Amino acid sequence: MRVASRLATIYFLLVIVAQWNDPDPFLWTAVYAVITILSAAAAFDRYFLWPTVAALAGYLAGLLVMLPALLHFHLGAMTSVGMASVEDERVREAIGLLICVLWAACLLGSTLRRRSA
């Protein structure tokens, strides 16, 4: 889990850097900063139950709100660098939240396993 957490930390740091050309960089930087911090902590075998639960709940809520955007999914939305359309931006944001949900769930699972051991 340490290696995966280190890789996730690097990944989310790169995602944060990519947010600076986003139309709303502060919101998305904050979204990704939370999972980056939780990943960095896990990389050093530090797990935090309630912050992880709160992050997962927030990411799930955001994903539910953004779920309709995934109806507009197409590969072009993921390959373009600039903001070709609002729909493409929403697709990328929804997929980013999905990645956060999946990784936060992994962190929560590790946290619960460590607490029960």
Higher pLDDT, 59 or 68: 59
Q: What is the pLDDT of residues 2-43, one digit of tens each?
A: 999 999 999 999 999 988 888 788 999 999 999 999 999 999
pTM score: 0.88
Contact 93, 66 (CB under 8 A): yes
Confidence of residue 77 (pLDDT cuts 50, 70, 90): low
Domain borders along the chain are 2-116
Angstrom CA distances, 82 to 18, 28, 99, stand at 11, 16, 21
